[in-house]
Amino acid sequence: GENVEQHPSTLSVQEGDSAVIKCTYSDSASNYFPWYKQELGKGPQLIIDIRSNVGEKKDQRIAVTLNKTAKHFSLHITETQPEDSAVYFCAASRGAGTALIFGKGTTLSVSS
Amino acid sequence: GAVVSQHPSRVICKSGTSVKIECRSLDFQATTMFWYRQFPKQSLMLMATSNEGSKATYEQGVEKDKFLINHASLTLSTLTVTSAHPEDSSFYICSATPGTSGGNEQFFGPGTRLTVL
């Protein structure tokens, strides 16, 4: 089955710096790669996603890149702010109606 | 974006009792709903996949007789933890997807914190 590895497990940056979180997946049939932000005691919130027919997607300060050949995808957050502090999860699935397999998460701390 | 609700948000129960958690998609029809469990400082672990009108598909190691899932309509799925024990204490989160008609996105509920005494 699918296995998703996520690194780093913790990441501390200064406000205004960029943060990069990387994930690799094992199932070549996976074609959907979302990123979720989870704050303490809350459910995960979808922040950006990418499909396998696209190499990069950007939404304001957040961008995701996908390398299908290498089976890895990354989340990039620019101009980080303290409110970006949370746990971020990458995930992979085979498409509509199929389950997401999550990475272990990255705790991002942005200090002002 | 699509909204998924869960009820209750937290529940405390005695060992041996049963607890029902509801998951509702508020503004879309969910052909598929998923149930996850999350222990402190860990990732989300898929428990089961629930399709409307059919039996749930459970992940390996998840007891289907202990975690009863019902997906009676396109907007409601329920998870019942039967004969709960302290080791069942966890954060239970559901997600819903419009499925093939609406794309791949999964939208998560706010979670239910279960504490079994």
Contact call for A102 and B43, based on CB within 8 A: yes
Q: Which of B37, B44, B49, B100 to mutate to test the interface with A (most CBs of A within 10 A)?
A: B44
Contact call for B108 and A44, based on CB within 8 A: yes
The answer to whether A44 faces chain B, any CB pair under 8 Å, is yes
pLDDT at residue B101 in the model: 55
Q: Is the pLDDT of residue B99 over 80?
A: no
pLDDT at residue A26 in the model: 96
Residue B82 tokens, joined: 């039967």
| Residue A2 binned pLDDT confidence (cut-offs 50, 70, 90) | confident
Q: How far is CA A73 from the centre of its chain?
A: 8
Measured at the CA of A67, the angle between CA A62 and CA A69, to 5 degrees, comes to 170
Please name the residue of chain B whose CA is at the shortest distance from the CA of residue A88.
Answer: B43
In the 3-class helix/strand/coil scheme, how is chain A assigned residue by residue? CCCEEEECCEEEEECCCCEEEEEEECCCCCCEEEEEEECCCCCCEEEEEEECCCCEEEECCEEEEEECCCCEEEEEECCCCHHHCEEEEEEEECCCCCCCEECCCEEEEEEC
Nearest CB among A42, A46, A101 relative to B105 is that of A46
Assess whether the previous peptide bond of A8 is cis (omega < 30° from 0).
yes
Task: Collect all residues of chain B within an 8 Å Cβ-Cβ radius of residue A105.
Answer: 42-43
| Residue A11 binned pLDDT confidence (cut-offs 50, 70, 90) | very high
Measured in angstroms, the CA of B51 and the nearest CA of chain A are apart by 9
Nearest CB among A51, A96, A104 relative to B97 is that of A96
Q: Is the pLDDT of residue A70 over 70?
A: yes
| Residue B53 binned pLDDT confidence (cut-offs 50, 70, 90) | confident
| Residue A82 binned pLDDT confidence (cut-offs 50, 70, 90) | very high
Q: Are B50 and B65 in contact (CB under 8 A)?
A: no
Q: Are strands B67-73 and B76-81 parallel, antiparallel or unpaired?
A: antiparallel
- Residue B40, Cβ neighbours under 10 Å: how many? 7
- Residue B70, Cβ neighbours under 10 Å: how many? 15
> Is the Cα dihedral B56, B70, B72, B107 positive or negative?
negative
The answer to whether A97 faces chain B, any CB pair under 8 Å, is yes
- Residue B11, Cβ neighbours under 10 Å: how many? 18
The pLDDT mean for chain B works out to 92
Torsions phi, psi for B16 (to 5 deg): 100, -15
Contact call for A96 and B107, based on CB within 8 A: no
Nearest CB among A95, A101, A104 relative to B104 is that of A95
Q: Are A1 and A100 in contact (CB under 8 A)?
A: no
The stretch B71-98 carries a mean pLDDT of 94
Nearest CB among B1, B34, B43 relative to A89 is that of B43
Residues 6+ apart with CB under 8 A from A62: A35, A47, A48, A75, A76, A77, A78
pLDDT at residue B104 in the model: 74
